Structure 1
Amino acid sequence: MKKSYIILLASALALSTAACSKKDDPSTTTSAESTNLSATITGTQQVPANSSTATGTFVGVYTASTKQLNYSVAFQGLTPTLAHIHVGAPGTKGAVAIPFSSLASPIMGTVTLTAEQADKLLTNNMYVNIHSSAYPDGEVRGDIKKQ
């Protein structure tokens, strides 16, 4: 009986130690921690669509633990007057959520999102919008999607 108790105790201790060491090991972080995002930016996605030949790309990574979005927006074929990320589903207009501090391509930055913004971002309800003097309501748009 005593021998069975010692074996049971040793087994529990071994399992406990293994669980703790795995939890503390940073290499066990799940891939759900970071989400890769992208968008192709064109005039045809603008609401209403237009015939602009300007194009661009958005690439981003959202990290859940820090609630931060790291992004890069590159574009060509226009001189921007405003650029930002809006809340809004594809085909709809929405409010500005994240203004960009620079208008020079590539626009790069890191921003901490609210819980609501993170939810919108991860459910394909945000888009990049770049305005110009030719198209003051927005020349090109890219609906942000998870990769």
Structure 2
Amino acid sequence: MKNLFKIAAFTFFLTLIISCDKDDAVNDNVTFTATLSGANEVPANTSTAVGTATLVYNKTTKMFTIAVVHSGLTPTGGHIHKGAAGTNGGVVFGFTNLASPISYTSGALTAEQEADLNAGLYYVNLHTAAIPSGEIRGNLVKQ
């Protein structure tokens, strides 16, 4: 429970910092969040590992930054996949650093990738040696 509180606090403060804009009249950032768990995997599993993800997409640059905080597992892979909640899909963006907190910045998204992100078709998935298909997952939801 202590780790879950740390994850929630980190995510809150990260979102707060990222959301701050010098010119609030023109804010091109859109925030997406995800709660990662074994129950969100397809098929679901009983992992006790947890995680949160905060993605901030800039509509002008077409790029995003994401921070993923996790505990209770040692990832062997981590990605953003394309797939609606309840379905599995292919990898779109791969994380190179898997230590918590994972930090990743994309290149400019294509029009299709931007549409998929806004439609809620991307999910964060962390894979482990114990569950190579994915131990915890969470779909990115626009805030």
TM-score by length of 2: 0.81
Unaligned 5+ runs, structure 1? 1-25
The structural deviation recorded for 1:65 is 0.6
CA distance in 2, matches of 1:124, 1:100: 19
CA distance in 1, matches of 2:24, 2:57: 19
Q: 1:30 aligns with which of 26, 30, 46?
A: 26
Q: 2:90 aligns with which of 95, 116, 121?
A: 95
CA distance in 2, matches of 1:80, 1:129: 10
CA distance in 1, matches of 2:23, 2:72: 43
**Residue 142 in 1 paired to residue 141 in 2?**
no
CA distance in 1, matches of 2:43, 2:30: 29
Q: Which amino acid aligns with 2:117?
A: L
The structural deviation recorded for 1:99 is 0.3
The structural deviation recorded for 1:60 is 1.1
Tell me the C-alpha RMSD between the 2 structures: 1.4
Question: 1:116 matched to which residue of 2?
Answer: 112
Higher helix share: 1
CA distance in 1, matches of 2:63, 2:39: 29
Instruction: Report % sequence identity.
Output: 46
CA distance in 1, matches of 2:83, 2:51: 19
Unaligned 5+ runs, structure 2? 1-21
Where do 4+ consecutive residues of structure 1 move more than 4 Å?
none
- Larger gyration radius, structure 1 or structure 2: 1
**Residue 39 in 1 paired to residue 37 in 2?**
no
Cα-to-partner distance string for 1:9-48 (whole Å, 9 max, x where unaligned): xxxxxxxxxxxxxxxxx947534x2101100000000000
Question: 1:130 matched to which residue of 2?
Answer: 126
Question: 2:59 matched to which residue of 1?
Answer: 64
Q: Which amino acid aligns with 2:77?
A: L
**Residue 49 in 1 paired to residue 29 in 2?**
no
Q: Which amino acid aligns with 1:131?
A: H
Q: Which amino acid aligns with 1:41?
A: L
